[in-house]
Amino acid sequence: MGFLSWFHDSTAGLLTLAALGIALLLVLIIRVKLEPFIALIVVGFAVALLGGVSIEDLVGSATKANESVLESGFAGTLGHVTAIIGLGTVLGAILERSGAAEVLLDRLVRVFGEKGTPYAMGLAGFILGIPVFFDIGIFVLAPLVYVGARRGGGSLAKYAFPLLAGLSVTHCLLPPHPGPVAAAGMFGVDLGWVILFGLICGIPAFVLAGWYGMWIGEKINNAVPEDMVMEKSEADLSRTPPPLALVLLAIGLPMVLILGGTFGNIFLPASGFRSFLLLVGTPTVALTLAVLISGWLLCLRRGMTLAEVNEMISKSLHPVGMLLLVIGAGAFFGKVLSATGVGDAVADSLAGAGMPLIVAAFVISSGLRIAQGSATVAIVTTGGILTNSVAAGGFSQPQLALILIGVACGSVIAGHVNDGGFWIISRYFNISVKDMLKSWTVLETIISFVGFGIAITLWQFV
């Protein structure tokens, strides 16, 4: 009993438990070849029980099951992404089946050249990742990656990782994404400074991480998942490709609506127009409108029957079930680590280490990210830990912004199996867990260290 209590009553025990749980998970998935969905649940239960989470807290009771770690772990993430994944997948199918993805790719290839297609993917990820969340960017832009990989040949990962690097940098460093915005409010720093230093630190991180993504991607032997490919009929092939303006409307509409809702919420006073922007800017509503409008303009209006469209939608959603199960199980595992107190143990052990505040910001955020997985949670939690120190420090606005950048850079380090994004990428781009660890985990770490390295250099001059 004393040994078990060490696991959940001491910082060393909690950290050891987390490390053992992650190691067991990797062995089950990589060596034993157990389906990740099952492995995540099995290891999640084992870690929870060894970590002192009560049975009632873990699985709930007949009247309070929805408050349990199990159900809230699945529901917290799936409640956010389920509709988005479904709608994004359907929009992607429309873009691919109608030829819209090829039209946009042709234009990008014309600008960057055939060999420069991965660079085009990266630039698209960085630019379009500013107004939209990380996962939405994946679902909307994935058809470009699929088409680029099939046309250019070679590994799918070579085309996917530059795009993902752009989406990741904007998600962690730039408003209107929730982590930077929340931390800016806690620290009392103007968003203009956050955007300025986010770009200064983020662009070099994106370039280096994107280059690494292309390099390691060439060494990963993976292809476009067969169930993600939309087969075209002879009628589809005979149709004239849609004009570029329609393609840009289909891709840009949800992003413009989401951006309008975000900035309307931040800058507009309460009014009917603000409420309207919030409604249509909700990702689920924005994607629904985009699916309906794109389905009409790119499919029905150009000769497809409603039966053909419905069949296409049904087929596109077939692979979504297992994707959602794995994402939910990954979120459950991350919730278990939080429930055992691993995140608090990491924060407590690092908060009083006596290091400069910008370094402490990076280290605490890194520890929380590695321990519990979510970048946004790492940013917000670190912001809460440091709020009093920041308020008492008498820092200037540029210094506050750089401290925030330190928090944000730490929040993306070493993305691994307790992060829902890890499983979205693995499943959506057909990348094994072993290859994800040597590619995505390292790519995220490059973003983290390069961005923080620039931030701490700038700290010397502000």
The pLDDT profile of the chain, 462 residues, written as one tens digit per residue, is 456 677 776 777 887 887 888 888 888 888 888 888 888 899 889 988 888 888 888 887 666 656 788 888 787 667 767 887 788 778 878 887 888 877 877 887 788 887 888 888 888 888 777 766 787 778 778 888 888 888 777 789 999 999 999 999 988 898 767 778 778 888 888 877 888 899 999 999 999 999 999 999 999 988 776 666 556 666 666 678 889 888 888 878 887 887 788 778 778 888 889 999 989 988 788 889 989 999 999 989 888 889 888 988 888 787 677 777 877 777 787 788 778 877 677 666 665 666 788 998 899 889 888 887 778 778 877 887 787 778 888 889 899 999 999 999 999 999 888 887 898 899 888 899 999 999 999 999 999 999 999 999 999 998
d(CA 289, CA 94): 13
Looking at residue 296, what is its pLDDT? Answer: 93
CB 135 within 8 A of CB 168: no
Q: Which two tokens stand for residue 446?
A: 């490059």
Q: Which amino acid is at 459?
A: W
Q: Which amino acid is at 345?
A: A
CB 405 within 8 A of CB 201: yes
Reported for 229-237, long-range contacts at CB under 8 A and 24+ positions apart, including other chains, are 229/96, 229/146, 230/93, 230/96, 230/97, 230/312, 230/315, 230/316, 232/97, 233/308, 235/303, 235/304, 236/97, 236/98, 236/99, 236/304
Half-sphere exposure of 63 (CA within 13 A, CB side): 0
Distances (CA, A) of 23 to 11, 16, 43, 52, 327: 18, 10, 10, 19, 19
d(CA 148, CA 196): 32
CB 367 within 8 A of CB 350: yes
Which residue from 236, 182, 114, 192 is spatially nearest to 387, judged by alpha carbons? 182
d(CA 92, CA 81): 16
Coil vs helix vs strand at 150: helix
Looking at residue 347, what is its pLDDT? Answer: 65
What's the predicted TM-score (pTM) here? 0.74
d(CA 114, CA 151): 9
Which residue from 366, 353, 364 is spatially nearest to 449, judged by alpha carbons? 366
Q: What interhelical angle do 244-267 and 272-281 show, nearest 10?
A: 130
Looking at residue 207, what is its pLDDT? Answer: 95
Instruction: State CA 227 to chain mean position distance.
Output: 22
CB 144 within 8 A of CB 161: no
